Amino acid sequence: MQAGERTMRAVLALLALVGSLLLFLCLARLPADGAGGASGWDMEGRAATDYTPRVMRYLRSPANVHLVAPAALNRPILNTARVQKSEQAAKCKDIWSNNWSSSIKKKRAELASCCDAMHNFIASQKNTPLGSNMTYEVDNKKTIHITEDIFQMLPESQPLDFPFKQCAVVGNGGNLKSSNCGAEIDKSDFVFRCNLPPTSGSVSQDVGNKTNLVTVNPSIIAQKYNKLNDQKATFLENISSYGEAFLLLPAFSFRSNTAASFKVHHTLKEFSAKQKAIFFYPRYLKSLAQFWRTKGVKAYRLSSGFMITSAAMELCENVKLYGFWPFSKSIAGIPINHHYYDNQLPKPGFHAMPKEYNQILQLHGRGILKLQFGKCLTE
């Protein structure tokens, strides 16, 4: 590496730091309720457009071009406007004195004391005694009796081999399309994905093809695979692209989820599939919802992407998020689909997406996780 290039890299690193701090300051000014009172991740209507430009305008502002697109890195970097911005940032002493590694530790400790993903992310024979009655996460007046059959479906203890060094949490956002992020994602030690997304074929260039854990919404099992009554072969073939991944199901969230989740477990067993079905521990999800509620995320239920992100913050040293972009335009202002593989919008009003996204942006601004906004750099 040449000396000039090294200096350049140092400057870029410094600017990234300053930019993130500015992002944090900017976000502190965003109203707590980003979308002006509306509550749906996917309001592609007025509320979403109100919210979109505010974030995008900020991210596109000169001080933050390095956050936006690789092309921006080729432009001259030091100009007076930017130097002034960094001086401004320097004045915010409390932000500057914020110690990044200690802020990560603090967040992790906070999450550990509320939710304890290390022990309670997954239902196991340790946290789910035989013969006990487990309370459902959402249908919380209902319990399920842990019979021998159910107990035998659970791993003896928590099954993930953490701590992981570098984790990728891959959402399904349309900003992943043509992102070229596949190679970077696949380099991670542990890759989380949501809702059985496609990873094989040409999309792997953008989203990678490595999967260690993928969440499964039981409604997909019902809709696409006829509850596995007669579509077992298709199901097994389609999930073969996930290798030896864990399929994570919310078996104990709603009573209506239980049978479909158990069916997935039994199907994998029956055909000696490489994948394993595991279940969210309902009390973990409940504590997590309570935790985020105190931060202003008041949802009927958190999105699975946000659940996974929260767990990753406890289980991984470094967390990077890809495909988390709930807007109808890319950071470069180009219209994009809702998902990288289709443009189907979920039910409105179920999740509190703008509020979740606001939290994610703040975590990014504080260096607790890293959010990939646009295309990945190729080297």
Ligand X SMILES: *[C@@H]1O[C@H](CO)[C@@H](O)[C@H](O)[C@H]1NC(C)=O
Tell me which residues are annotated as active site: 351
Q: Which residue has the tokens 């059985």?
A: 196
Cβ proximity to ligand X, 61 vs 204, nearer residue? 204
Cis preceding linkage at 129, omega within 30 = no
Q: Of 285, 232, 222, 226, give the one whose Cα is nearest residue 256.
A: 222
**Are 56 and 334 spatial neighbours (Cβ–Cβ below 8 Å)?**
no
Q: How far is the CB of 131 from ligand X (least distance, A)?
A: 6
Q: How far is the CB of 330 from ligand X (least distance, A)?
A: 24
**First-residue to last-residue Cα distance in the chain:** 14
Torsion angle, alpha carbons of 167, 172, 176, 180, to 10: 50
Which residues are near ligand X by CB under 6 A? Answer: 99, 101-102, 131-133, 145, 204, 209, 224, 234, 238, 243
Backbone φ and ψ of 192, nearest 5°: -95, 140
Cβ proximity to ligand X, 204 vs 217, nearer residue? 204
Determine the residue with CB nearest ligand X: 99
Q: How far is the CB of 98 from ligand X (least distance, A)?
A: 9
From residue 320, alpha-carbon distances to 22, 54, 130, 192, 365 in Å are 20, 23, 37, 10, 13
**Are 311 and 158 spatial neighbours (Cβ–Cβ below 8 Å)?**
no
Burial label for 8, CB within 10 Å (0-12, 13-18, 19+), is: middle
Cβ proximity to ligand X, 29 vs 91, nearer residue? 91
Cβ proximity to ligand X, 113 vs 147, nearer residue? 147
